[in-house]
A and B are shown apart, each in its own frame.
Chain A
Amino acid sequence: MLYSQDHEWINVKGDVGTVGITDHAQSQLGDIVFCDIEPAGTVLSAGDTAGVVESVKAASDIYSPVSGEILKVNEDPADDPALLNTDPVANWLYTIRLNDPSELDGLMDEEAYDLYCRG
């Protein structure tokens, strides 16, 4: 699993990545009450807004860690946003077909991400 500076995780198999928010992100956000991801078919560049999650206090954009086309959106967190607090890894947000796997080189591994969060 790889991590972005914007606190998303991505798990890549072949040319398909599964994207979610990290435990650090959900902990910083607090109670999540809204989740909305762009529909399947949306084409994103790395860093584009893929959707939004909202806590009680604020709305936070989800930035796609990689470029590609959204293949599938997980409806569970949209129906029950609190799932993102209880298990942000099991409750992935969307899958994406990667345009450029070399973008993964710019992401962090778990150790680097832990250091980044503590920084």
Chain B
Amino acid sequence: MPSDTKEQHLKKTPLYEKHVALGAKMTDFNGWAMPLQYGGILAEHLAVRENCGVFDVSHMGEIAVSGDGAEQFLQTLLTHDIRRLAKARWIYSPMCNPDGGTVDDVIVYRQGDGFLVCVNAGNTDKDFAWMRLNAPSGVIVTDLSAHFSQIAVQGPKTEEILAKTDTSEAMLIAKTGYTGERGVEIYLSPEDAPSLWDQLIEAGATPCGLGARDTLRTEAGLPLYGHELSKDISPLEAGLTRFISFDKGPFIGRDELFLQSHDENRRRLVGLTMGGRSIPRPGYAVLCGGAPCGSVTSGGPSPTLGAGIAMALVTKDADEYEVLIRGKAEPASRTELPFYRRRI
């Protein structure tokens, strides 16, 4: 049975008091006291798929990159082509080690003459150190995480909800998210966050915790650092090939990733749907023809599909696998990712 979290040593977002007042069950997420759930994960999941949910994602890190050569620096640091920002409001990109392992996966925005890089909460310090280490003189890397809060509004009714709220204080509103639904992520100063949070809920958005965030992103086939990506898992293995630009010029990890791209025996991330009622969980062994071939990276019940689903990193390319659940090999069919795609 889960035990209550000792919250006093954890970092708190500006919305911590709001979560407690809403009766959230809090959890330790990478050193942050974050809401796991309010009313219940299934209800929150459904609210995002059918109406609108609001998430506190203030724990995410924000690192500014500016100065002469900032664009070229990011071009070397990230696997994706930063020049796409000429046309796009934002780009998603892995950031690799020289050996092709993943330091983090990030979103980059253009901010004035410079860039804002949104990084995973648990990786903020590591990313900041990595970026500073690699930055040439003239490029300024600043950890602005303490100056930003983030609220994600996700679901088909996002526009209706936003129309009833005042977002004029927002520093950045991006049409991004981590749920597979339309929606926005709003960057704003910590002192403005509680008021917007209240307005969004008043307007009808359902407060949602990390539990629903995880089931939603798993259905959407989106990677979570520490699961589908890590220093030992390359973005190529995780199926993120479209975010690796081999033709843009040199970047950290390129040589190793290029070799991997020609290795047909490399590990690959597959989607699995369970045949029976059983539920795959992270770490469970995956078998192919009875022989171990990898493990589940993310898994759980899919509220939308009504079946157990998993992403798994495997060495065998097949249509049918088994997942070892409490000693039993349970059949699992390979499913093209994402498991869930929203209606346009």
Q: Give the interface size bracket for B toward A.
A: 10 to 19
Shortest Cβ distance from A60 into B: residue: B1
Contact A30 B211, beta carbon cutoff 8 Å: yes
CB < 8 Å neighbour of A56 from B42, B277, B326: B42
Contacts of B40 in A (CB 8 A): 30-31
Shortest Cβ distance from B284 into A: residue: A59
Q: Within 8 Å of chain B (Cβ to Cβ): is A29?
A: yes
- Interface 1/0s, chain A 26-54, versus B by CB < 8 A? 00111101101000000000000000101
Alpha-carbon distance A33/B278, docked complex (angstroms): 10
- List A53-95 residues whose CB lies under 8 Å from chain B: 54-60
CB < 8 Å neighbour of A34 from B37, B41, B211, B301: B301
Contacts of A29 in B (CB 8 A): 1-2
Q: Within 8 Å of chain A (Cβ to Cβ): is B279?
A: yes
- Is chain A's interface secondary structure helix, strand, loop, or mixed overall? mixed
Give, as a whole number of angstroms, the nearest-CB distance from A34 to chain B. 5
Q: Within 8 Å of chain B (Cβ to Cβ): is A103?
A: no
Contact A58 B281, beta carbon cutoff 8 Å: yes
Alpha-carbon distance A33/B178, docked complex (angstroms): 23
Contacts of A28 in B (CB 8 A): 1-2
Given the known interface contacts A30-B41, A30-B211, A33-B301, the answer about A59 and B279 at a Cβ–Cβ threshold of 8 Å is: yes
Alpha-carbon distance A7/B301, docked complex (angstroms): 24
Contacts of A36 in B (CB 8 A): 277
Alpha-carbon distance A71/B4, docked complex (angstroms): 35
Give, as a whole number of angstroms, the nearest-CB distance from B309 to chain A. 12
Shortest Cβ distance from A7 into B: residue: B1
Shortest Cβ distance from B300 into A: residue: A56
Q: Which of B2, B281, B303 has the most CB of A within 10 A?
A: B2
Give, as a whole number of angstroms, the nearest-CB distance from B156 to chain A. 22
Alpha-carbon distance A54/B41, docked complex (angstroms): 13
Alpha-carbon distance A29/B41, docked complex (angstroms): 11
Contact B25 A33, beta carbon cutoff 8 Å: no
Q: Within 8 Å of chain B (Cβ to Cβ): is A110?
A: no
Residue ranges of B at the interface with A (Cβ–Cβ < 8 Å): 1-2, 25, 36-37, 40-42, 211, 214-215, 277-279, 281, 300-301, 303, 326
> Which 3 A-B residue pairs are closest in the complex by CB-CB distance?
A56-B41, A33-B301, A31-B42
